Amino acid sequence: MKFFIDTANLDQIKEAQDLGVLDGVTTNPSLMAKEGITGKENILKHYVDICNIVDGDVSAEVIATEFDEMVKEGEELAALHPQIVVKLPMIKDGVKACKYFTDKGIRTNVTLVFSAGQALLAAKAGATYVSPFLGRLDDISTDGLGLIEEIRLIYDNYGFETEILAASIRHTMHVLNCAKIGADVMTGPLSSITGLLSHPLTDIGLEKFLADYKKGN
């Protein structure tokens, strides 16, 4: 399972990269705004800064919602750095743009996916990644993990190569359950990755090992 971090915060990206388990980064316009990154020039520069920290794919989302504009914006994003993956919303023109980029060999991440039907369309359009938003479904008392399972089944039935990128991860149990289902990638906050580290028995065990060592030395 690949681990992506879902943030535009450079310090957090560095921390995850330094841990040695990071495979990529996802961003979106809200995450950019949260870091105070505004204006086209600054946003494009920030994507390059992220690419220079992480060894892996960096999703950069288009703002346009109409095909021609999406293509123009996506091509500009893809030209920034070889690690950039063009993130497209799951709307009619987003699907068309996905097919266009697939045919041109530009990698894509179809985002804002909330149903198996949408995920099927993204795969048909040749998306590199599909991003079902599991946390946002859970937020409205809907079974987010169930959606990941459905998509896994459909993709396996037909051998679709689109990778399931479980998005909108909220906590470590989302990560573990997605791993059990066979999601290819997860993207979540730094805490959903570092939270996997913790176990009280590890801390107690280490304390005892170190105390016993001290006794004999």
The residue type found at 127 is: A
Distance from the Cα of residue 106 to its chain's centroid: 17
Q: Which of 14, 87, 124, 214 is catalytic?
A: 87
What's the CA gap between 164 and 182, in Å, rounded?
Answer: 9
Contact present, 194 and 3 (Cβ < 8 Å): no
Beta strand ranges found along 50-191 (DSSP E): 57-61, 84-89, 108-113, 129-132, 163-166, 185-188
State in angstroms the smallest separation of the CB of 86 from ligand E4P: 13
Nearer to ligand E4P by Cβ, of 139 and 212: the residue is 139
Contact present, 16 and 22 (Cβ < 8 Å): yes
State in angstroms the smallest separation of the CB of 127 from ligand E4P: 13
Nearer to ligand E4P by Cβ, of 63 and 204: the residue is 63
Name the CA dihedral angle for 85, 86, 90, 95, rounded to a multiple of 10 degrees: -110
Would you call 87 a catalytic residue per the annotation?
A: yes
* Residue 125: DSSP 8-state: T
Residues that bind ligand E4P (CB under 6 A): 6, 26, 28, 111, 131, 133, 135-136, 167-168, 187
Choose among 54, 14, 53, 49: nearest CA to 32: 49
State in angstroms the smallest separation of the CB of 6 from ligand E4P: 4
Nearer to ligand E4P by Cβ, of 68 and 143: the residue is 143
Q: What are phi and psi of 88, to 5 degrees?
A: -125, 140
Nearer to ligand E4P by Cβ, of 165 and 211: the residue is 165
State in angstroms the smallest separation of the CB of 64 from ligand E4P: 17
* Residue 159: DSSP 8-state: T
State in angstroms the smallest separation of the CB of 8 from ligand E4P: 10
Nearer to ligand E4P by Cβ, of 26 and 162: the residue is 26
- By annotation, the residues acting in catalysis are 87
